[in-house]
Structure 1
């Protein structure tokens, strides 16, 4: 299984214009929320076909809380090198720019003040994002791919693992203002192989992640665990055949407005040359919540 990660190199620096399947000069006028795309229902659809989801490799869409910026990673159609891209909404028009070469898997904290990039992060400043900083010694020895955070500052994150399929999803809370040492989540989540790319709900009511376990549809499936009334994590629930197929599905997250679930799906071969970004109405989560 191809692991979806890359070394974190170079600081986020110069902003430069980039092409996509349209080419920047031919990019259509994009107005309105979500790049002006028609929202999906309970059947997932490719997000922004030909603009973000193309015949190439695209991964990991995240939004700022004000929904004015959309970040993701893609493989440049010419150089094939991975790059970090942003669409920014200015006066109701979306503008595309390449931020830098890939520097990690982005996740923006619920308050919008921090962009997490694995075991590194950047802070929002008056002029943009700061230089990358380290989370600290508690995380330095962990090969984190994706780290997400709740509104109270709880981190939930994965690790690279090996080709044999290991990989543990961990959490770290803020306790009395201090960051606790990371701990593994329970067996409800850490069962099977390739457990990775977690997303914790802002209110910590559920965790979504992907992995392989018995009873799945094949490839990597997306699962969800809901917090029980007692505070523990409930049994893993496969998110079903509308989201999961025989292909690789991974890296799900919910938009800051709570309306849509975004995730990735491999549309190509085992070389992952064509990975698209899908979205679906977040109501699908409620259809899975235990009654």
Structure 2
């Protein structure tokens, strides 16, 4: 999660049924409607769900499908505060976006940057809701578990993970380990990307800085890592090849286990606006990211076009 602009919600202007526009057949082969849109993109990014998710009336970011593909989560700015919204796939199609319960309970606070645990039972996110021992209105990492009929009570991660400064964009990989953006005192510049090895539910080892092939003297953040940790995509600000207010870069895992030098994703992905919040669907088919105040998606095959040739 990065920058925003003031906007009013477009939620109440959606005066139609998504089940009419994006009917989903739950029998037989799964069609493109699995992703809300009837048509899926090729190797050219397209705006995702115009007037439903990506609206002119609000600033939207994030794009997260549940592991079973039956829920979709995104963030929308409401009254200058980020709030998490979800949509559900039913027998009649996709529901209209609604604010999730744990965002409703803290109307004066901001929530964003969602990511599921590998088994789909837990949702990690960031929030500036009050947390004892931490500065007010500062983002920390939280998680919330599924409960009967919805979600339980959110809990913050420990001070092994959360710092006195802002902590952003949790990314959970296949073994449950955590990547995120923070500054644990060994930053190479501003905020950096870190990895914390999974120990047990909600418990992680001390975060390790990803080093100079990923981090730089400029600020980094919004890191997505593939479940098998084969590649990562993140945003960096103010580098010499920056096209706008922050661009997306990609790094591939090397044979020795280290991360290769990150590669600017060029004008195939980046723009003169801020490009951020990368995410790939659980089935690995589509790459989502946020650009300006809208959500975009593209065939994930584009990722391999950046892979260095051996």
The answer, yes or no, to whether TM exceeds 0.5 is yes
The residue that corresponds to 1:4 in the other structure is: 3
CA offset digits 1:192-250 (Å, max 9, x no partner): 42211101111111111001322232321101111011101001011121101222101
Alignment RMSD: 2.4
**Aligned residue in 1 for 2:51:** 50
> Aligned match of 2:209 in 140, 160, 184?
184
SS in structure 2 of the partner of residue 203 of structure 1: coil
1:110 maps to what in 2? Answer: 118
The count of residues paired between Structure 1 and Structure 2 equals 264
Contact 1:87-1:94 at 8 Å conserved across structures: yes
1:134 aligns with 2:183: no
**2:294 maps to 1:276:** yes
> Which whole-Å deviations, capped at 9, do the CAs of 1:234-282 have from their partners, x for residues lacking one?
010111211012221011110111011100111xxxxxxxx00000000
State how 1:55-70 maps to structure 2 within 5 Å.
55=56, 56-70=58-72
* Aligned: 1:251 with 2:252: no
Unaligned runs of 5+ in 1: 6-18, 267-274
Offset, 1:141: 2.0
Kindly state the Cα deviation for residue 71 of structure 1 after the two structures are TM-superposed: 0.6
3-state SS, counterpart of residue 60 of structure 1? strand
Does the CA contact (< 8 Å) of 2:249 and 2:265 recur in 1?
yes
**Structure 2: gaps spanning 5 or more residues:** 24-32, 105-109, 127-140
1:173 to 163, 183, 197: 197
User: In structure 1, how many angstroms separate the alpha carbons of the residues matched to 2:279 and 2:84?
Assistant: 18
Matches within 5 A, 1:227-266: 227-266=253-292
Q: Which residue of structure 1 aligns with residue 15 of structure 2?
A: 25
Give distance in 2, aligned partners of 1:202 and 1:4. Answer: 27
> How many angstroms does 1:175 deviate by?
5.5
Contact 2:118 2:175 survives alignment (8 Å): no
Look up the match of 2:39: 38
Question: Structure 1 residues 176, 36: CA separation in 2 closer, same or farther (over 3 Å shift)?
Answer: closer
After superposition, give the CA deviation of every residue in 1:150-187 in whole Å (9 maximum; x if it has no partner): 010111000389xxx71111110136997310111110
Q: Which moved more, 1:213-222 or 1:21-30?
A: 21-30
Aligned partner of 1:218 in structure 2 is 244
Q: Is residue 307 of structure 2 the alignment partner of residue 289 of structure 1?
A: yes
Q: What's the CA shift for 1:283?
A: 0.2
Quote the Cα distance in structure 2 between the aligned partners of 1:218 and 1:98. Answer: 31
Whole-angstrom distance in 2 between the partners of 1:81 and 1:37: 31
Task: State which drifts further: 189-198 or 45-54.
Answer: 189-198
- 2:62 touches 2:277 (CA, 8 Å); kept in 1? yes
Contact 2:82 2:112 in 1 (8 A): no
Aligned to 2:86: 86
1:145 to partner: Cα distance: 1.6
